[in-house]
Structure 1
């Protein structure tokens, strides 16, 4: 896997739904989306990978 880009956002529980939708819809394009939350829970980072 190769990281293409990552971007941090204010924490929002709805981001998981978006990442799930993107992974299901764009898997045929060899893209994978990841989401992580910082230890404080204030920031989430969306990462896009090329598989």
Structure 2
């Protein structure tokens, strides 16, 4: 069985120490809706974070 992950949206935001808490809450709450959320530091600017929404 093949799993396809589709990127729905990506946005760059100011980095904050608590952003991961929001992403964790979204992942726990909306996994039944086949949604997944990701957070990564911008490689070019450590003051920015990249927030991505996926459909699984």
TM-score (norm 1): 0.93
Kindly report structure 1 stretches of 4+ aligned residues shifted beyond 3 Å: none
Q: Which residue of 2 aligns with 1:34?
A: 38
Report the Cα distance in structure 2 between the residues aligned to 1:33 and 1:13, rounded to whole angstroms.
17
Query: Does 1:43 find its partner at 2:48?
Result: yes
TM-score (norm 2): 0.86
How many residues are aligned here?
A: 51
Structure 1 gap segments, 5+ residues each: none
How far 1:13 moved relative to its partner?
Answer: 1.4
Larger radius of gyration: 2
